[in-house]
């Protein structure tokens, strides 16, 4: 096992694994030495298998994310089990305004895709294991307990079971999610805004085909999103993401299945059909969290460890993935030019490049949530007029659609 690496990625989830995959196309040419540290055991090599589950949690991928995964080389495998979003319907309950986006109008096969998280993770990890060669070591299960930052090399303290050791690396990327204890030990400060809301998540069965339509429905109790899922045993499934005031959560969780379906139906309406079954309900509190320090010398914070957004419009993971692609491209360019990966000027240039994307995406999610949570009559009327104008103005709709699909960012160069 190596003791020195060019890069150590902390976290082998979707963001960390995507970064490792993004560096693979150039790994042999550049003789990269990478390590992925993950607290969970590594799956057996060649064990890629789709295991359908009614209650599988899912992520919405913008069309631009497809371009990234195509460049990485995993899209053909991912595409075996995902649901395309061919239409998006946005409406405000009790108001006349609505807006519709169609993939055909944008001359694309889909506006986005919905993939089950366990399938995405399995595809990424299988791709790494099949193609890593001598360039990637998987340190699993293991935990990074501390990092000592040096002028040229960082010392990463690793605990594997009862054993401890220290690894050397030019660069550490922390992609271990939004509940990292390590980031507190490293003194990374965060700005946080509590929305006093919770996201309730459940998969539902419809009495008809979902028609590849994704819905964003704004109600007086919070936004409700329905995302199309792949069928299971002939059942047409959709993923519900319902934003609720925190004080209402316990009452909704206490409902039996019939009453829960009735309440969802009452809030959402019958546009998507009738809801006839509900799976397990999960929930999490909603906060806007942004790391004040996302880069330092020899160190980068990515994904939920860097920023957590409101789920409205489903942009959180797509923003993280664009950061992954931009960092991988920057690192490959630096290596080609003989520049040190860990130099602060190099990493600061990456962050400056991403900052406008972060501000735009975070601002859009935050302001949309606040706009559609306000029930003042004049604002409600203004929202309806705005949605209706967007629906009948093709140029504005195209600009909005391309931004939502992540097509205003070029595909990364990863070789």
Residue 231 has what pLDDT? 93
How do residues 129-150 score in pLDDT, each as one tens digit?
A: 999 889 999 999 999 999 999 9
- How would you classify residue 182: left for phi > 0, otherwise alpha for psi between -120 and 50, otherwise beta? alpha
Which of 17, 55, 69, 66 has its CA nearest to residue 38?
17
In a domain, 217, yes or no: no
* Residue 354 pLDDT exceeds 70: yes
**CATH code, domain with 333:** 3.50.50.60
The domain in which residue 61 lies consists of: 4-192+287-404
User: Does residue 226 lie within any of the structural domains?
Assistant: no
- State in Å, rounded, how far the first CA of the chain is from the last one: 26
Instruction: Answer whether residue 231 is part of any domain.
Output: no
What pLDDT score was predicted for residue 97?
60
pLDDT, average across residues 305-318: 86
Residue partners of 147: CB distance under 8 A and separation at least 6: 154, 155, 156, 157, 172, 182, 186, 299
Kindly report the backbone phi and psi dihedral angles of residue 22, in degrees, each rounded to the nearest multiple of 5, phi listed first.
-65, -30
Q: What's the whole-model pTM score?
A: 0.91
When pLDDT is cut at 50, 70 and 90, the band that residue 216 belongs to is confident
Calpha distance 311→316 (Å, rounded): 7
Residue 208, domain member (yes or no): no
Is 412 a domain residue? Answer: no
**383-387 mean pLDDT:** 55
Please tell me the predicted confidence (pLDDT) of residue 236: 94
In a domain, 371, yes or no: yes
Give domain status of residue 297, yes or no: yes
pLDDT tens, position by position, 62-87: 999 999 999 999 999 999 999 999 99
Residue of 108 and 374 predicted with greater confidence = 108
Position 163 pLDDT exceeds 50: yes
Token pair for 401: 């659609």
CA distance 125 to 398: 35
The answer for residues whose C-beta is within 8 angstroms of residue 373's C-beta and 6 or more apart is 222
Residue 104 to residue 174: CA distance in whole angstroms = 39
Omega within 30 of 0 (cis) for the link into 141: yes
Segment 217-260, tens digit of pLDDT: 887 777 899 999 999 988 999 999 999 999 999 999 999 999 99
Query: Could you identify the residue written with the tokens 């109790």?
Result: 221
Residue 98 forms part of a structural domain: yes
The total number of structural domains in the chain stands at 1
For 11-69, write each residue's pLDDT tens digit.
Answer: 999 999 999 999 999 999 999 999 999 998 888 777 788 888 899 999 999 999 999 99
């Amino acid at each position: 096992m190596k003791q020195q690496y060019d890069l150590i990625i902390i976290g082998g989830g979707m963001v960390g694994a995507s970064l490792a995959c993004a560096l693979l196309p150039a790994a042999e040419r550049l003789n990269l030495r990478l390590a992925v540290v993950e607290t969970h055991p590594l799956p057996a090599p060649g064990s890629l298998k789709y295991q359908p589950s009614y209650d599988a949690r899912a992520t919405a991928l913008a069309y631009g994310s497809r371009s990234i995964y195509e460049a990485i080389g995993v899209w053909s495998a991912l595409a075996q089990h995902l649901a395309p979003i061919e239409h998006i319907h946005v409406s405000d309950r009790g108001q006349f305004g609505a807006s519709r986006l169609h993939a055909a109008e944008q001359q694309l096969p889909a506006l986005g895709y919905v993939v089950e998280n366990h399938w995405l993770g399995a595809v990424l990890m299988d791709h790494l294991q099949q193609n890593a060669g001598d360039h990637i070591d998987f340190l699993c299960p293991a935990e990074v307990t501390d990092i000592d930052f040096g002028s040229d090399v960082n010392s990463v303290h690793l605990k594997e079971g009862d054993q401890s050791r220290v690894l050397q690396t030019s660069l550490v990327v922390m992609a271990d999610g939004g509940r990292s204890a390590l980031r507190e030990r490293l003194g990374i400060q965060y700005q946080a805004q509590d929305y006093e809301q919770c996201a309730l998540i459940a998969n539902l069965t419809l009495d008809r085909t979902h028609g590849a339509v994704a819905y964003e429905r704004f109600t007086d109790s919070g936004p409700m999103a329905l995302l199309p899922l792949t069928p299971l045993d002939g059942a047409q499934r959709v993923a519900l993401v319902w934003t609720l005031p925190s004080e209402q959560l316990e009452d909704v969780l206490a409902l039996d299945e019939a009453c829960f379906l009735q309440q969802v139906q009452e809030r959402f309406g019958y546009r998507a059909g009738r809801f006839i079954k509900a799976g397990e309900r999960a929930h999490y509190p909603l906060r806007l969290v942004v790391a004040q320090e996302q880069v330092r010398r020899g160190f980068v914070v990515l994904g939920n460890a860097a920023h957590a957004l409101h789920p409205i419009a489903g942009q959180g993971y797509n923003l993280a993935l664009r950061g992954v692609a931009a960092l991988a491209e920057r690192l490959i360019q630096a290596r080609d030019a003989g520049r040190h990966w860990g130099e602060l000027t190099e990493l600061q240039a990456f962050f400056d490049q991403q900052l406008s994307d972060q501000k735009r995406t975070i601002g859009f999610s935050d302001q949309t949530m606040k706009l559609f949570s306000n029930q003042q009559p004049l604002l409600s009327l203004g929202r309806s007029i705005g949605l209706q104008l967007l629906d009948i103005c093709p140029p504005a709709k195209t600009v909005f659609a391309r931004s939502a699909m992540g097509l205003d960012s070029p595909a990364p160069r990863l070789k």
